[in-house]
Structures are given as structure tokens and as C-alpha cells.
Amino acid sequence: MARNTTVKADHNAPAITELLAKFVVNHPSKGWSDKVDYEAHRTFANWFGCAIGPSQHETVHAALAAVSELSPAPQAAILGRRERVDIANAAMINGISSHTFDFDDTHLKTIIHPAGPVASAVLALGEHIGSTGREMIDALVLGIEVSCRLGNAVYPNHYDRGWHITGSTGMLGSAAACSRLLKLDAARTQMALGIAASQPIGLREQFGTMTKPFHPGGAAKAGLMAALMAKHGYTASKRALEAPRGLLQVFSDKTDWAEVTEKLGETWEIEINTYKPFACGIVIHPSIDGCVQLRNQHNLKPEDISKVTIKVHSLVLELTGKKTPADGLQGKFSVYHSCAAGIIFGRAGEHEYSDEVVNREDVVALRSKVEAIVDDSIDEASSDVTIETTDGRTLHVFVEHAVGSVERPMTDEQLKAKFVDQSEPVIGREKAEQAWTLSMQLATLSSVKNLLGAATPA
Amino acid sequence: MARNTTVKADHNAPAITELLAKFVVNHPSKGWSDKVDYEAHRTFANWFGCAIGPSQHETVHAALAAVSELSPAPQAAILGRRERVDIANAAMINGISSHTFDFDDTHLKTIIHPAGPVASAVLALGEHIGSTGREMIDALVLGIEVSCRLGNAVYPNHYDRGWHITGSTGMLGSAAACSRLLKLDAARTQMALGIAASQPIGLREQFGTMTKPFHPGGAAKAGLMAALMAKHGYTASKRALEAPRGLLQVFSDKTDWAEVTEKLGETWEIEINTYKPFACGIVIHPSIDGCVQLRNQHNLKPEDISKVTIKVHSLVLELTGKKTPADGLQGKFSVYHSCAAGIIFGRAGEHEYSDEVVNREDVVALRSKVEAIVDDSIDEASSDVTIETTDGRTLHVFVEHAVGSVERPMTDEQLKAKFVDQSEPVIGREKAEQAWTLSMQLATLSSVKNLLGAATPA
């Protein structure tokens, strides 16, 4: 039987489960600046397009086929598809879809993809219970605040340990957001957070498989069900997050409680959310950006290149060091392929991560000329890119912050282009434009009926 | 961003995800002794009665009310109730129900309650797809082998860290069992284990709340859905369990791979499963047993007692040291209440953990006379009990192994009495007897139709 060998129990943690529950329940609607509300709409719209784009992908097909075995009630929409399923599974499938192309948003402080677990639950539940757009934006902001602050409290130790932090904190953001939408009181919201705390989802080991996008989807579903259970009186520990054997102390060796408590309700994590310009792991972005910059400045063609050298932090290779990716999904975890794609195509959208492109002869040839050197003096958000040409030139750029970062945010025009680029093949140009416009106006909509109509193919 | 501070990665782990998948797929039906098959039936029957007993409890009501919001299809039975829900949620609710009275089975080597996550999934899925009783017993034995061996590999470190090991390994047992029932091939079974590996459920912090029984229920559901997803081609890491960032290395600081690999298919963990004679945490059992023994030997009445002293391992107080439990559920985590109940009633079934009994004046008075002394030289499975009487006698017993342990197993008669005692108030005497008989004959049944009929109230 067990010895009591737990070494690091902190018995003086603040009561953050209660604190967050009260915050989620009591914070006023739009109790933040216009800037925060604007970023919330960009977060929602970016997520919405990212969920439509992969809706016909085999990952979504497989998940939906499994769910269909339950003969689910047609309660809520699956973005980009005509099928409808129950709210828990709609949350799961939209969460899976939105992360399938690895093209969604990133809270760079923790590498959490915040929208997937929260927006997926908010939309499915909100559609079913008839929430207004304003209520949904409120729930989205508050839910993301909960998951990102808890992420801040355990990052990087928790992530380094091997957890995929998007899913392992996301169920708490989803539970918070759904509790808000359901208008639960603080005591029940505290229980919802507690029930969700027993269900962290996600291992980094799954990167490169369909189970990676399952993590935000599973988290969305777990949080939604936790809120429904709490609504009906299901109980959990009141200190499920902070107790010596609460979630944060169990799944992380270090916890900074101040990240949860300080300036709660005054600063907003969604304000520093970012959106991916490239359909791959965020740590590759500065390297692609550098390759695209040099390509465009010097009008480079693949045949001009003799060698590409990138100097990056060790984390970049740890996460995306796949030298010879076999298919599109593996390509997203290959800084080598990504740099080659950036040079050949001048972009790295979903198309550049198709099985076909990843195995194309010219892409494979250029990929083999890319060398990555670890230099931990370089920040993970940066990259030092040098291209040597066959005619003897050495071209160099140091990318401190990639496009799409907090410092160099995507413009609304770029976001819209990304949205339409993904959605048009699924729902057509007109609906894609309409879905973008309505997403960016969500807080003014009395219901999501028209928005979901736009997201459904004819 | 993250530093790479993970210290303990073991890059030489055997390929246990693949090994277990092949084992689950290829091991022949009833490829074990009659003794193992017999214990599998006792495991199933004990679980079945434990799920019927609490079926009207508020915990089950709350969970079912939440599930009902999904308008689930009536695919599978909820034991002891007339409602039917989809197979995933039936697995969840039966799993919750079976652990609600904390009266189910225990694999003492790990304190895993093995049946809940596995049998709940097997029954729901097996009913729906028309499995034979033989197929269900096979799946139960193999699923429990998977979860208990994985538990052995990480115990006690994982448990000491704060995980409720029943739910945090149970989803793997459920995934294995459901893969077997679905007749998935080894590659898909490996994926099912991988998908499940991202979903460990359960914190010890939740003990004393409704979320504790949610852990086996949630694990049953997660494993069942993982198998369904794998059936339809959903993918996961092939080394999701053993990789340096696979589940076992992420959620435990120490892993003994030999516990998984050695004599796999030759020895059977279900053979050392045990069943609770008392409706509370297993570590209290030797203390209750000692109190009941002294009570019966000396015909003790509560008013005869001046003091009760138990010497136990520190784990006992860590898990069940609640001095003044406020209600029945908390009573299950109070060695003080449990000893008082043993002396007053000569038993500690579910009735002795009602809110009423826990707050009864004579029970509270006797409880306050119980003193617990930590002595780590005493095994957690033992208890040294001394009762001092008002007339000056000092009575003593040392309980090395409590009734219900591997060394002093419950007889079939005792198990049947426990089954009927729990089931009769729900389904009546006749159906209770019938349900017991059919449960103990499961491998001979061509379907579970009659068995489920017996478990459904008129």
C-alpha cells in the first residue's frame, strides 16, 4: 500500500476555486475595455473559421462517426457540416475541428490555444439554450481568463512535465464559461470547476496524431458536462484546484498562486491572444517568417538555394524537430519542411501541409538543405535565419517577433483573409464573408441562428 | 516559454502500449483457470449489486439529470432504474452508481477499485451490440488486467502524488475491454489505449464528494468513447503509455515496467480482487473488524465503553481521519465514526453511513471516545484495537487481515447477502435473488437481456 511520500504540499494556497467561481458569476457583462471586447471578437472569429476549415477532414469524420454510434439528439451545430449532435458532442467535435489544422490561436505566455476548449462549449451550449451574442462573448472572455490564469500559475513546470496545457487547463475554462451561460450561482460554479478539475486532458506525446486536436475538444465537452452536473447539484471539493491534493499541486511541481489572484478582473489574458498566420506549431513561425522575408526581398527560387541555416532555442527542435515528415500532419511538426514551404510558396497555410506537398520532390529536396542549430541564447519566439545561395551570396535576417505575435499582430484584413481562405472551400465565398462579418459582430446578435446558418454548407 | 526541465525521462521503456493491445486482442477466450473465471464472476456480481443499491441516491439523480439535458438515445440500461440513456452515459452513470456507497471491490495492491470503470463500460456496450456473457467476462478479465497492471507499475508514487488511481488507470481498462468487445484489431486497440491515455480522471482531493464516484464513471465513459473513436480510425501515439512524455512517465515519478510485462497472460490480477464487507474506505476495515470482534466476543454495549484506541498506519488517518463527519458521505472517511458504528451495530453497511446515523447522539458520543494513534510499524492492512470498559477491563485484538481481504475472503454466501441487502429495496427480493444468480452465471448467458430485466424495478 501507499507510503505518504508527497513532498511538496503547499497548505497555504489561497482559495482560488472559490475566488474564480465568484469572479465568473459576479463580473459584470462587458466589464472591460473596448479593446478587450474587440480582441474577444477576433478570438471568436478566428476560432470559428479554424473550425469550419477542417470540417471535412478525416479527423472530424472519425470523431463524428464514433459520436454517431450514440444516436445523438440534433441539439447543436457542427461548423461546416449539416449534421447536428447533442451539445456535449458538438462541443467536442467543434473543438477537435478547430485544432485539426493547428492553425488556431495562441496565448504565447503559456502556449495555450485558448479558444478551442472555451468557444466550442460556449457555442454549442449557447445555441441550445438561446444565449445572446453578448452573453456568449462574456462567457468566452471569462472562461479564457480562468484557463489562461491557471495556465500561468503552473507554466512552465506543468508543460515541461509533458502535459498538453491546452486541454489540461481548458476544461476549467469551459466549465467556467458554461457556468456563466447557465447563470449558475457562485456555489454551483465552484462545484463545476471542481468536477472539471478531476478531468485534465492531454499529453504532448500525442503531438502529430489526431489525439492532439482531441485535447481541446475533450476539454470543451468535459467542462460543459461539469457545468450541467453542477447545475443539478453534483458536488466536488471546494478546494479542488488549490488544496494540497488539488489539481494544480498534483499535476505541477511548482505553482504561482499570484498569477491567479493578482489584478483579477482588471487585466485580461484574451487581450494578449494571438492568431496563427501559419498552419503549424507556433515555435516554427519566426523561422518561416524569416524564410519568407528573405525569399521576398531577394526574389529567391528553390533552385537558388544551397543551404538554409536556422539558429533556434532547443524547444523548437524538441517540439518540431521532425527531419523527414511522412505526411501533412507530421509536416506541422517539422521546422525543416516548414522553412522549405516558406521559401517555395511564400506562405505556410493548410495547403502547404497537405500529404502531397510534404512529399513533393522539390519540397523534400529543399527540406534536406535546411539545417537547424540549437542556441539557447535565442528566445523561443525568435529565429536567426541564414540562406546561402548557389551563386555565393549569404543572406541573413534575425526575426525577433514573428508576424502574428503580440508585438506584430495580424491585422483584421489578414485575419479575414485567413478566415475566408479556410471557409470558402467548405461553405462558399458568400457564406464565408457573411460568417466573418457576423462573427466579428457577435456581441450585437440576439441569437447565433444566422451565424450558424452561414457556417452550414448548402 | 518553456524550459526543458523534465528530469526523469526513461527512453528505454518497453513498448507496452503495443504489447497490451496485442494481448487484449489475441488472448483466447477463457484463456485462464476456472479459479480466475470464478473470481471474474464474483467481481461482476459484486459490482452489479453495488450499482443497483445506490441507484436512487441523489448522486445518481444529479448525474442523470445532467445527462438528460442531452436528450440521450435509450440505448442501454441504468441498473436499478427504468430510464435508459446512450451507451457512453450509461457506462458513466452505472460507474458512478457502483462507487457511490464506496462499497465495491478493491485490488489491494494498488487500492484500485477495478470493476467500476471496466464492468460499467462492458455492460453498456455489450448490451447494445449484443455481446454474449462469455465475451463480456473475457473483456472484463482483460480490461481489469490492463488497468491493474498499469496501476502496479506506477503505484505508490502516482497515488501518493494525489491521483485517484481507480479513475486515472480505469479509462485504460475500459478502452481495452471495449476494444475487445468491438473485436478491434491490435492496431486499433493500440490507438484506443492511446486515445484513453490522454484522459486520466481523478484526484484524491475529491474524496468525500460526489466527484469521487464520478471517477470510475468518467473513466468507463472515456474508455468506451476511445474504443469507438479508434474503431472509426481515430489515431493516437503508438507509445502513448510508455514514451518519455507518455502517460505513465507524466503522471508518476517512478515506473516499474516489469509490472506490466512479466508473466502477462499467465497471472491474473482479478484473482486477487477483494470485496468490501463494510461500506467505507478499505483502510478502515481492519479497525471496524477489530471493533466488531471485541463487541461480539464480550457482548459490549455502547454504555460499557470508556475508551477505544486504535493504532494504525499513518495512511489510515490521512485518508479517513475525519474527526467530526457532518454527514453520511463524510462518515465514510472517518475511522472514528466507523469504529463507533461497528461497536453499536456490529456492522458498517450503507445504513450505518446515513446522515441520520452519523449524527445520532449515541453514535457521536461513542465516536468522541475513539482515539487513533499513528504507528507506521503497523501495516496499512492491519489494525491494533484496544477497548477499555467503564468497569475497568482492557480488551485487545490485533487484526492482521480484515474480513474481505485476500487472506480472509468473503464467502459466496456473504457476497450474496451483501448483494441482496443492497438490491432488495430497489428491485424487490425476487428480482434481487434472480439478478444474483444470473450475474454469477454470466459466461453462460447468450445475452444480458434477462439479467437486465431482473435489475430493472417494476
Average pLDDT on A433-452 reads 98
Looking up cell 464565408 gives: A432
Closest-CA residue to A24 (of A239, A273, A264):
A264
ipTM for the assembly: 0.92
A160 contacts on B by Cβ (under 8 Å): 2-6
3-state DSSP of B365-411:
HHHCCEEEEECCCCCCCCEEEEEEECCCCEEEEEECCCCCCCCCCCC
Asked if B228 has any chain A CB less than 8 Å from its own CB, the reply is: yes
Whole-number Å distance between alpha carbons of A114 and A104 = 9
Whole-number Å distance between alpha carbons of A89 and A78 = 9
* Model pLDDT for residues A168-213, shown as the tens digit of each residue: 999 999 999 999 999 999 999 999 999 999 999 999 999 989 999 9
The radius of gyration computed from the CA coordinates of chain B, to the nearest angstrom, equals 22
CB contact under 8 A, B251 and A251: yes
Asked if B428 has any chain A CB less than 8 Å from its own CB, the reply is: no
CB contact under 8 A, A209 and B159: no
* Enclosing H/E stretch for B305: strand B305-312
Average pLDDT on A394-401 reads 97
Would you give the end-to-end CA distance of chain A in angstroms?
60
Whole-number Å distance between alpha carbons of B458 and B393 = 53
Residue B424 pLDDT greater than 80, yes or no: yes
Per-residue buried b or exposed e for A14-36, using 16+ beta carbons within 10 Å of the residue's own CB: ebbbbbbbbbbbebeeeebeeeb
Closest-CA residue to B415 (of B34, B35, B50, B36):
B50
Asked if A59 has any chain B CB less than 8 Å from its own CB, the reply is: yes
Asked if A194 has any chain B CB less than 8 Å from its own CB, the reply is: yes
Q: Which of B199, B209, B313 sits opposite A235 (nearest CB)?
A: B209
* Model pLDDT for residues B184-224, shown as the tens digit of each residue: 999 999 999 999 999 999 999 999 899 999 999 999 999 99
Substitution target from B59, B89, B206 for chain A, most A beta carbons within 10 A = B206
d(CA A380, nearest CA chain B) in Å: 7
* Enclosing H/E stretch for B351: none
Chain B, nearest residue to A2 by Cα:
B156
Q: Which of B162, B244, B381 sits opposite A250 (nearest CB)?
A: B162
Expressed in percent and rounded to 5, the helix, strand and coil fractions of chain B are: 55, 10, 35
Residue A57 vs residues A53, A127, A454, B375: alpha-carbon distances, Å: 9, 24, 19, 60
DSSP readout, A71-140?
A: -----EE-TTSS-EE-HHHHHHHHHHHHHHTS-SEEETTTTB--HHHHHHHHHHHHHHHT--HHHHHHHH
Helix (H/G/I), strand (E/B), else coil: B440: coil
CB contact under 8 A, A197 and B204: no
Closest-CA residue to B170 (of B225, B105, B227, B117):
B117
Substitution target from B199, B251, B255, B318 for chain A, most A beta carbons within 10 A = B199
Q: Mean pLDDT for chain B?
A: 96
Report the 10 Å Cβ neighbour count for B58.
14
The radius of gyration computed from the CA coordinates of chain A, to the nearest angstrom, equals 22
B225 contacts on A by Cβ (under 8 Å): 66
Whole-number Å distance between alpha carbons of B305 and B339 = 12
Asked if A106 has any chain B CB less than 8 Å from its own CB, the reply is: no
Whole-number Å distance between alpha carbons of B397 and B387 = 9
B182 contacts on A by Cβ (under 8 Å): none
Residue A3 pLDDT greater than 90, yes or no: no
Asked if B203 has any chain A CB less than 8 Å from its own CB, the reply is: yes
Would you give the end-to-end CA distance of chain B in angstroms?
60
CB contact under 8 A, B250 and A2: no
d(CA A315, nearest CA chain B) in Å: 7
Whole-number Å distance between alpha carbons of B143 and B115 = 9
Whole-number Å distance between alpha carbons of B448 and A331 = 48
Asked if A258 has any chain B CB less than 8 Å from its own CB, the reply is: no
* Model pLDDT for residues A115-173, shown as the tens digit of each residue: 999 999 999 999 999 999 999 999 999 999 999 999 999 999 999 999 999 999 999 99
Residue B5 pLDDT greater than 60, yes or no: no
Whether B236 contacts B197, CB under 8 Å: yes
Q: Which of B65, B201, B231 sits opposite A198 (nearest CB)?
A: B201
Q: Where does residue A366 rank: exposed (0-12), middle (13-18), buried (19+ CB within 10 A)?
A: buried
Beta bridge partners of A334: A321
Average pLDDT on A415-440 reads 97
Residue A156 preceded by cis peptide, ω within 30:
yes
Substitution target from A207, A221, A250, A322 for chain B, most B beta carbons within 10 A = A250
Residue A267 pLDDT greater than 70, yes or no: yes
* Model pLDDT for residues B102-140, shown as the tens digit of each residue: 899 999 899 999 999 999 999 999 999 999 999 999 999
Query: β-pairing, B305-312 with B370-374?
Result: parallel
Residue A98 pLDDT greater than 90, yes or no: yes
Asked if A315 has any chain B CB less than 8 Å from its own CB, the reply is: yes
Alpha helix (H) residue ranges in A346-411: 355-358, 361-367
Would you tell me which residues 387-426 of chain B have a C-beta closer than 8 angstroms to some C-beta of chain A?
A: none
Angle at Cα B9 formed by Cα B3 and Cα B11, nearest 5°?
130
Asked if A250 has any chain B CB less than 8 Å from its own CB, the reply is: yes
Asked if B377 has any chain A CB less than 8 Å from its own CB, the reply is: no
DSSP readout, B139-180?
A: HHHHHHHHHHHHHHHHTTHHHHHTB-HHHHHHHHHHHHHHHH
pLDDT band at B281 (very low <50, low <70, confident <90, very high): confident
Residue A9 pLDDT greater than 90, yes or no: no
Q: What is the largest CA-CA distance in chain B?
A: 73
Closest-CA residue to B333 (of B283, B371, B377, B286):
B283
In CATH terms, the superfamily for domain A282-399 is 2-methylcitrate dehydratase PrpD (3.30.1330.120)
To the question of domain A16-275 being in CATH 1.10.4100.10, the answer is yes
Query: β-pairing, A273-275 with A105-107?
Result: antiparallel
d(CA B245, nearest CA chain A) in Å: 5
B69 contacts on A by Cβ (under 8 Å): 87, 228
pLDDT, residue B329, reads 85
Average pLDDT on B64-85 reads 98
Asked if B251 has any chain A CB less than 8 Å from its own CB, the reply is: yes
Would you tell me which residues 274-293 of chain A have a C-beta closer than 8 angstroms to some C-beta of chain B?
A: 283
Residue A4 pLDDT greater than 60, yes or no: no
Residue B3 pLDDT greater than 50, yes or no: no
pLDDT, residue A208, reads 87
Whether A319 contacts A283, CB under 8 Å: yes
Whole-number Å distance between alpha carbons of A172 and B173 = 26
Whole-number Å distance between alpha carbons of B419 and A443 = 56
Substitution target from A100, A203, A313 for chain B, most B beta carbons within 10 A = A203
pLDDT, residue A1, reads 35
Q: Which of B65, B75, B198 sits opposite A206 (nearest CB)?
A: B198
Asked if A66 has any chain B CB less than 8 Å from its own CB, the reply is: yes
d(CA A129, nearest CA chain B) in Å: 11
pLDDT, residue B6, reads 45
pLDDT band at B2 (very low <50, low <70, confident <90, very high): very low
Chain A, nearest residue to B2 by Cα:
A156
* Model pLDDT for residues A358-392, shown as the tens digit of each residue: 999 999 999 999 999 999 999 999 999 999 999 99
d(CA A46, nearest CA chain B) in Å: 23
Cell of A294: 528573405
Asked if B248 has any chain A CB less than 8 Å from its own CB, the reply is: no
A210 contacts on B by Cβ (under 8 Å): 234-236
Cell of A84: 447536428
Report the 10 Å Cβ neighbour count for B292.
25
Percent of chain B with pLDDT over 70: 98
**Domain spans in chain A, listed from the N-terminal domain onward:** 16-275, 282-399
Beta bridge partners of B203: B163
CB contact under 8 A, B194 and A209: yes
CB contact under 8 A, B2 and A69: no
pLDDT, residue B102, reads 87
* Model pLDDT for residues A302-350, shown as the tens digit of each residue: 999 999 999 999 999 999 999 999 999 899 999 999 999 999 999 999 8
Whole-number Å distance between alpha carbons of B446 and B451 = 11
pLDDT band at B8 (very low <50, low <70, confident <90, very high): low
Residue A252 pLDDT greater than 70, yes or no: yes
Whole-number Å distance between alpha carbons of B275 and B41 = 12
d(CA A452, nearest CA chain B) in Å: 20
In this chain, the answer to whether the domains covering B16-275 and B282-399 adopt an identical fold is no
CB contact under 8 A, A203 and B245: yes
| Interface A-B: count of C-beta contacts within 8 A | 245
Phi, psi of B86 (to 5 degrees): -65, 160
Whole-number Å distance between alpha carbons of A333 and A320 = 4
A111 contacts on B by Cβ (under 8 Å): 1-2
pLDDT, residue A329, reads 85
B184 contacts on A by Cβ (under 8 Å): none
Q: Mean pLDDT for chain A?
A: 96
